[in-house]
Amino acid sequence: MKPTTAVPSYGAGRPLPSHAVVEDRRADFDSGLLIRIQAALLPLRDGQILRVASPMDSVAADLRTFEIATGHALLTVAPDPLRPGWRFHYVRKGRARTEWPAADHGPTPTTIGELMPRRLWLYTNYDCNLKCDYCCVVAGPRVDPRRLAAERIRTLADEAAEAGFDRVFLTGGEPVLRPDLPELIEYITDRLPLTLLTNAMLLRGPRWERLRPLVEGGRPVAFQVSLDSAKPDAHDAHRGIGSHARALEGVRTLLGVGARVRLAASLPESDLDEIPRLHELADELGIASGDRIFRPIALRGAASAGEPIRVEDVAPELTCDADGWFWHPVSNDPDMRLSIPASAPLADAMVAIRARLEDLIAMRSARLDRFTCG
């Protein structure tokens, strides 16, 4: 098999967990390795990962062609830390999970125009009161806050409104930690509807008293609250003891003043039974059925398990932070970054998105599925 395109990058070549291994010092695709790979993939379920270990230079390009022919995705190539010259090639069998219940984004897009983003995501900061063990961007109490300048946020809100975008999302980190958040909400909602992603634990005291008038005043702002289980144990195991109770307290505070609340759960594949229980909790709280989001944990950032996601796997959701523009809010890893200056206007970012979309569609194996962050 001959190479046809460049090998894709995932997570800057990070090691991935694997469910089976094929190793061969001498074989390549022309001398038996292809047959061994196909045999190793047969017992695996869709979404599971095969690690192909080899020192042969041709294996990566052959696996790239193998992906185009079969749909088994080459996720990344990483050096073997113990054997100089050897490389680990991670192959995901078939498609990853396809049955996740998610917000309805309408029919599957079929053209580049339909794939172009209409929502703007802004990482306002990376400091957070929690240190979740599967945080996709490694936020936490001791990280560099890397706060997106307020003036930059206002400029981007203006540009998004002028470009006809549908909505702005503010995420982090924990945006509620920003002292200027009320002013930013006011400015953005004068132009576009806003969704604020929050763990809801800080909606009390002076912070809440400054936010409350904006909510009670009918501003078009929704609060998307992370809640990964109906009961404390599973949620607190990932996010910290007591975080579930305080998140629910924040949800009830918001609902008490008539705020729109969206419930968002990140779940491992083993916990899909949690979805009906979360629906029951949302019914009890009075959260609308269309404001419930269930998604897999992404194997990005701090996560040690979850769904491995490449640029090729997800339709773009234009995202910006203090360091510049990237493809999708699910990850700010280097492979997700757009090759334009950090200060580039939104229009330039959209040009870069379109150019990358054209390249990915030309690969013929890009999934470009919707991965629902909000």
CA distances from 287 to 71, 293, 310 (A): 38, 11, 32
Question: Tens digits of per-residue pLDDT, 289-348?
Answer: 999 999 999 989 998 888 888 898 899 999 999 999 999 999 999 999 999 999 999 999
Q: Which residue is it, tokens 């029951």?
A: 280
Residue type, 73: A
Q: What is the pLDDT of residue 8?
A: 60
- CA–CA separation, 332 vs 340, rounded Å? 14
Domains of the chain: 11-92 (3.30.110.40), 112-363 (3.20.20.70)
Nearest alpha-carbon partner for 149 in 106, 184, 116, 117: 184
* 26: Cβ contacts below 8 Å, ≥ 6 apart: 56
pLDDT band at residue 11 using 50, 70 and 90 as cut-offs: low
Q: How many residues does the chain have?
A: 374
49, amino acid identity: I
Whether the predicted pLDDT of 102 surpasses 80: no
Q: What is the pLDDT of residue 10?
A: 65
Write down the pLDDT at residue 305. Answer: 84
Pairwise CA distance, residues 335 & 358, whole Å: 17
Q: Compute the CA torsion angle 194, 200, 205, 207 (nearest 10 deg).
A: -30
Which residues contact residue 252 at a Cβ distance below 8 angstroms, ignoring those fewer than 6 apart?
A: 285
Cα distance between residue 327 and residue 148, in whole Å:
17
pLDDT bracket for residue 221 (50, 70, 90) = very high
Write down the mean pLDDT value for the chain: 91
* Residue 227: both structure tokens together: 């809640």
Helix residue spans in the chain (DSSP H): 33-41, 59-70, 112-115, 150-162, 181-189, 205-216, 232-239, 243-256, 274-285, 346-363
Q: Residue 28: what pLDDT?
A: 87
Position 230 pLDDT exceeds 90: yes
Contacts of 127 (CB under 8 A, 6+ apart): 139, 140, 141, 143, 145, 147, 172, 173, 174, 177
Q: Which two tokens stand for residue 228?
A: 């990964």
Q: Mind giving me the DSSP string for 264-327?
A: EEEE-GGGTTHHHHHHHHHHHHT--GGGEEEEEPBS-TT-SSSB---GGGB----EEETTEEES
Give residue-wise pLDDT tens across range 147-165.
999 999 999 999 999 999 9
**pLDDT tier at 3, thresholds 50, 70, 90:** very low
- Work out the percent of the chain whose per-residue pLDDT is above 70: 93
d(CA 304, CA 17): 8
DSSP state of 47: T
The per-residue pLDDT for 103 is: 47
Degrees, nearest 5: CA angle 16-17-21: 105
Distance separating alpha carbons of residues 184 and 171, to the nearest angstrom? 13
**Cβ atoms within 10 Å of 248's Cβ, excluding its own:** 19
